[in-house]
Amino acid sequence: MPETQAKQILLVEDEAMLGSVLKQRLEKEGYAVSLVRDGGEALSALKSTKPDLLLLDIILPKYSGFEIMEMMKNDPTMAQPPVVIISNLGQESDVLKGQTLGAVGYFIKAQLSVEDLIGKIKDFLTG
């Protein structure tokens, strides 16, 4: 029986604790997770890899998540995975901006447990 390739997730999260917890939980679910901690690393990873999903924080060092999404749209050499935003920014204008830039999901960290977030990520990758 042929091995199925693990889905690749690029996780961009500068909060060390949350990044580690999400990475471990997603790997436990069988996903291959690359964790980067700032916008510059995210852009490099998007140029060198082709993730199946981008989990993107908005408030990051170097470039914001919104800036990363704008750069992705304008750079055909960059991977264009579906983007799921995980942020503490929960204003309607922030959610609208994320959707306008093409995010397929927008989750506010304070309103979602890690387990709920993992479930939603699994839905995006299987749906």
Cβ neighbour number for residue 60 with a 10 Å cutoff: 24
Q: Domains of the chain: which residue ranges? A: 8-110
Cβ neighbour number for residue 11 with a 10 Å cutoff: 26
Q: Encoding tokens for residue 61?
A: 């060092």
- Find all residues with CB under 8 Å of 48, minimum gap 6, and list them: none
b/e per residue 97-107 (b: at least 16 CB within 10 A): bbeebebebbb
Per-residue model confidence (pLDDT) at position 1? 47
Per-residue pLDDT of the chain (127 residues; tens, 9 = 90+): 455 689 999 999 999 999 999 999 999 999 999 999 999 999 999 999 999 999 999 999 999 999 999 999 999 989 999 999 999 999 999 999 999 999 999 999 999 999 999 999 999 898 7
CA–CA dist 35, 54 (Å, integer): 10
CATH number at 8-110: 3.40.50.2300
Long-range pairs, 47-50, Cβ under 8 A, ≥24: 47/77, 47/78, 47/79, 49/8, 49/10, 49/79, 50/8, 50/79, 50/81
